[in-house]
């Protein structure tokens, strides 16, 4: 089961967020044979922790607490798990940087297509709509309008929503790569 309990403790304006996992396998990839701190965090834990922090004011988060069943923890694991988690998020920042480079390229292409389609729409209106009439011109006008609406919306969506989301995810991962992480048994 993927259930994780989350607690929030606020003291003196600082926030401590606790994540209570049911097992070590929820937190660390059971198929990764690497020793701590090189072992990978599961995709589930990565997304769960990052998405929860995304909903918080990152400046106010002072630490996170990872709780695991006491019998599954050794003193060595308690000592190495904070570095394992920070290392994982530090490593993933490089992946996010690669994604951002690809995303910027796609944004430039999307902007170029929007400009190209807008130019075609203006030429169409100037050349055809002023001189010709009939169902073919109406059909072409509708097609050009839809084409422009789609490319402009795609470009707008990229710059207003997608790019902001990528930047925020990177901020969350940077926070997790440097935050104080405590590990405790429950």
Tell me the pTM: 0.77
Which pLDDT belongs to residue 177? 97
One domain for residues 106 and 64: no
Count of the separate structural domains present in the chain:
2
Distance CA 18, CA 156 (A): 37
Q: Say whether both 47 and 83 belong to one domain.
A: yes
Per-residue pLDDT tens digits of the chain, which is 186 residues long: 578 999 999 989 899 999 999 999 999 999 999 999 999 999 999 999 999 999 999 999 999 999 999 998 999 999 999 999 999 999 999 988 888 888 888 888 888 988 898 888 888 777 776 677 778 777 887 888 888 888 888 888 877 888 888 899 999 999 999 999 999 998
- What pLDDT does residue 152 have? 84
Q: Are residues 107 and 155 in the same domain?
A: yes
Q: 161 and 124 share a domain?
A: yes
Tell me whether strands 14-20 and 5-11 are parallel, antiparallel or unpaired: antiparallel
In this structure, the answer to whether residues 64 and 109 fall within a common structural domain is no
- Are residues 104 and 163 both part of a single domain? yes
- The residue range of the domain holding 46 is 5-91+177-185
* Same-domain pairing of 144 and 82: no
Judge if 105 and 34 occupy the same domain: no
Domain identity same for 65 and 107:
no
The DSSP string of 36-51 is TTTSPBPHHHHHHHHH
What is the per-residue pLDDT for 65? Answer: 98
Q: Give yes or no: residues 140 and 107 share one domain.
A: yes
Question: Which residue, chain included where needed, has tokens 């020793």?
Answer: 35
Residues 120 and 151 reside in one and the same domain: yes
Torsion of the alpha carbons at 134, 136, 142 and 145, rounded to the nearest 10:
-100
* Angle in degrees, CA 119, 125, 129, rounded to 5: 155
Which pLDDT score is estimated for 70?
A: 94
Same domain, 144 and 107: yes
């Amino acid at each position: 089961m993927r259930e994780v309990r989350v607690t929030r403790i606020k003291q003196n304006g600082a926030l401590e967020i606790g994540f209570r996992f049911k097992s070590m396998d929820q937190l660390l990839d059971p198929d990764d044979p690497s020793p701590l701190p090189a072992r990978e965090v599961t995709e589930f834990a990565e997304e769960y922790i990052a998405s929860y922090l995304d909903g918080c004011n990152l400046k106010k988060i002072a630490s996170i607490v990872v709780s695991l069943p006491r019998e599954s923890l050794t003193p060595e694991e308690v000592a190495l798990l904070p570095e394992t988690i920070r290392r994982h998020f530090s490593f993933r920042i490089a992946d996010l940087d690669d994604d951002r480079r690809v995303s910027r390229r796609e944004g430039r292409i999307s902007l170029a297509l929007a400009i190209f389609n807008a130019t075609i729409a203006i030429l169409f209106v100037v050349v055809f709509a002023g001189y010709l009439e009939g169902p073919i011109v109406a059909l072409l006008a509708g097609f050009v309008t839809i084409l422009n609406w789609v490319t402009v919306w795609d470009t707008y969506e990229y710059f207003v929503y997608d790019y902001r989301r990528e930047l925020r995810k990177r901020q969350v991962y940077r926070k997790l790569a440097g935050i104080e992480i405590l590990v405790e048994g429950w």
